[in-house]
Each structure stands twice: as structure tokens, then as C-alpha cells.
Amino acid sequence: MLSLPTDQDVESAARRLRASLTIPGLRTAVAAYFNESGFAGMTFSDLGHNPPRLFTADDLLAVALLDITWRPQVVRVLLQTHRRQFADLLADIPTDVDLWDACDVTLKHVDIMWDVLTSIEGIGTASATKLLARKRPRLCPISDSLVIKAVDVPGRTWDVLRHLLQDQGARADVEALRPAAAADATLLWILDVALWVSRSKSAAAQEIRLAAGLPS
């Protein structure tokens, strides 16, 4: 029987992630993501209308920029048939709280939303986490398969990211990666981009790493 990850595992993972944020060339790679037109950049955050208590077509389009495809029945559930239910769930999740300051009650409300989203056929981990990151960019980190693998503590990805960013020094390390083009990006979005450009196996990410002098 597998044992559950411990707090020591969380702390160790946070240390590993922090060390990866200071590798030479990473700031250049992050800047490329925000400056080159072939990437979502700030459009993920800024596109269209993003009311705090409703899912909109603009939200779905923004998430689609991150390689998510929405099935027709999922679009209808999010925007039409379950619109009021999601409005009520979003109302319970604050817009002005950062992940590192979030209390357990706030994160419980996020968990409830997560469970409802992933219970819908056609919504998986990647689409749910990216949609939550669009609606609550200060609170909800993207935790798709790449981030889960980078954290490498099964079942405790958010715990690791939360622990990492509770360290003021780690937040400063993320802030140091911010290019001018991402002046309005949340720290969570900067961190996610840093993880993507340094770890994704996509051709686009490998091209960024090559130009920035990062290991491919």
C-alpha cells in the first residue's frame, strides 16, 4: 500500500521548485513567452469580459489559448444549463485573496467548485484548472499534467505551490522573472509560464529554451 505524501515531502518539493526558478536564462525564456505573438501571454488574462461570478464565452476562448478544446455539451453546461449553479459557487470564492494567504475555508470552496467541474463529462484536470485560473488568477494555480509532474508530490500539488509562495524569498524569485510585458500578470501566472518554458516538451518551448540558452 502506498503511503500518503507528508509535509516533509511538500517542503522538499517546494525547495526543489524554488531552486529551479533561478537557473540562468529562465528570465529570458519567460520574457519570450510574453513578448512573442505565438503564445497566449497576457491575452489569457485580459481577453474580453471576465465577470467574477459568471463563466462566459470569453473565458472559454481564453482557456482555449492554452490548448484546451471544449466539447459542445460542456459549453452548454457552463454557459447555459448550469449557469446559475456556477454563479453561486463562484460567489463563495473570493477574488482578492492570494494562494499563499488563503485560509482552509477558502480553499474548501475551491475544492467544491473543482469537484463539480470535474464531474462533468468532458472536463478533465487540465481544463478545470485552467478555467479556475482564469476566474481566480490570484488564488488558483494551473495544475495540469506538466505542473503535477514538476511538483512530483501526487495529490498535493496545490499544497506544494502554496507552501512555496508562502516564502517571501520564493515570491521574490518569481517576481524577478517578470518582464515588462507581463506587468499586470499575477505571480501564479508568471510561475506557471516559468514551469512551462523550462519543462514542456513541445517544439515551441524547446525553441524558447534554445534561444535563451536553457537545457533542451
Q: What is the pTM of this model?
A: 0.95
DSSP H or E stretch at residue 185:
none
So what's the pLDDT on residue 215? Answer: 86
So what's the pLDDT on residue 27? Answer: 98
- pLDDT tens for each residue of 70-95: 999 999 999 999 999 999 999 999 99
Contact 192, 177 (CB under 8 A): no
- pLDDT tens for each residue of 12-33: 999 999 999 999 999 999 999 9
pLDDT at 196 over 50: yes
Q: What is the mean pLDDT of the chain?
A: 96
